[in-house]
């Protein structure tokens, strides 16, 4: 497989993640789209690791997974607290922080 196919696949996944982040108002779905973008980057890193025969990229993928797990645990805690306060996961409610 040419490396271009993997490039285009992961770019398509990344852009789908961006579209989802811009389109949806549900905070949990936006979080999931961020996970999708992280996975697109992981896929590209593994493809390049295969291309150059270097294991460092796969270790980086491992670290990205660690960061994603930490991010999800804190982020979901924030969303649960927000749901307890305002009984909604609509991110437009969060613009009250402005006032």
Residues that bind other proteins (CB under 8 A): 1-9, 11-13, 15-26, 28-29, 31-33, 35-36, 39, 42-43, 46-47, 49-51, 53-56, 58-59, 61-63, 65-74, 76-81, 83, 88-90, 92
Smallest gap, in angstroms, from Cβ of residue 41 to other proteins?
11
Name which of 91, 83, 81, 86 is nearest 31 in CA terms.
91
Smallest gap, in angstroms, from Cβ of residue 81 to other proteins?
6
Nearer to other proteins, 62 or 95 (CB): 62
> Which residues are CB-neighbours of 51 under 8 A, at least 6 positions away?
3
Nearer to other proteins, 51 or 97 (CB): 51
Burial class from Cβ neighbours inside 10 Å (0-12, 13-18, 19+) for residue 10 reads buried
Beta bridge partners of 26: 90
């Amino acid at each position: 497989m040419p490396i271009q196919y993997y490039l285009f696949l992961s770019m398509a996944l990344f852009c789908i993640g961006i579209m989802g982040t811009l389109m949806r108002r549900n905070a949990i779905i936006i979080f999931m789209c961020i996970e999708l973008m992280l996975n697109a980057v992981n896929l590209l890193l593994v493809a390049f690791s295969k291309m150059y025969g270097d294991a460092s990229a796969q270790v980086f993928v491992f670290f990205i997974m660690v960061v994603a797990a930490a991010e999800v645990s804190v982020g979901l805690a924030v969303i649960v607290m927000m749901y307890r306060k305002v009984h909604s996961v609509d991110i437009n409610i969060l613009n009250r922080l402005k006032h």
